[in-house]
Structure 1
Amino acid sequence: MTAEPQSAQPGMVITAVDARHAEVTLTGHLSTRVLCDLEEWFDDLRLQRADHWVVDMRGVTRIELACAYALLRAVTAHSGTASICGGRRPVLRTLRRVGLDKAAVIVE
């Protein structure tokens, strides 16, 4: 088994924010090890103030169910709308499995 490259470290970067729009980039293997961090990242006031989130998941190598549910909770608690884009097929499958496609637009 090979180790994941350094770039696969889990993380979140808020790349653009204004009152109407926030762009969020998630990266790495989103496992239960980073679940609390993920929940804290989405509590960021800059995100809470934005009407629409664009969550870029191109850099996510894998997402475990607990983290997918955390993302679902964040999106449903948010008073605005959200779009999920750029996810790999297995990542998008996991997001659909938890019902995120009912709460956000998933763009392949």
Structure 2
Amino acid sequence: MTADGTGRPASRQAPPLVIESAVGGRAVLVFSGELEAHAVGPLEEKLGDPRLRDAAEWELRMHGLTRLDLPCAYALLRAATVRDTPAVLHVRGAHRGVRRSLREAGLDTVATFEG
């Protein structure tokens, strides 16, 4: 078993967040796997990417995200809203439990949900 406890080699494990594109004021973020409390630091670091600061609109593709803890949902909310102009968020494909965490964190007040 590897240090991350999954049994898979760390180099083969997909990162939970990939910035697929960030051009023309629009960013596409693709989430996968599980985002639990221990991942808040790395998540906040990734969400601090300068390309995201310049993007006014974020598309959050969450089809592959199976679990989202509340601390990670709050980190996402902070990253999108604690800026000069809050980003417009579009959440796509979030599973029921992930949607619940996003709503509990208050993301439903600043985001649209589809699929």
* Bin of the TM-score, shorter chain as denominator length: 0.7 to 0.9
Counterpart check, 1:94 vs 2:101:
yes
| Pairing 1:1-108 to 2, within 5 Å after superposition | 10-78=15-83, 79=85, 80-108=87-115
User: How many residues are matched?
Assistant: 106
Unaligned runs of 5+ in 2: none
Higher CA-based Rg: 2
Unaligned runs of 5+ in 1: none
1:16-74 CA-to-partner distances (Å, cap 9, x unmatched) read: 22132110001111001111011111100111111211011111110111111111111
Shift of 1:8: 7.2
Q: So what's the TM-score if we normalise by structure 1?
A: 0.86
Moved over 2 A (4+): 3-10
CA change 1:18–1:5 in 2 (3 A) is farther
Q: So what's the TM-score if we normalise by structure 2?
A: 0.81
Sequence identity percentage? 36
- Bigger drift between 8-17 and 27-36 goes to 8-17
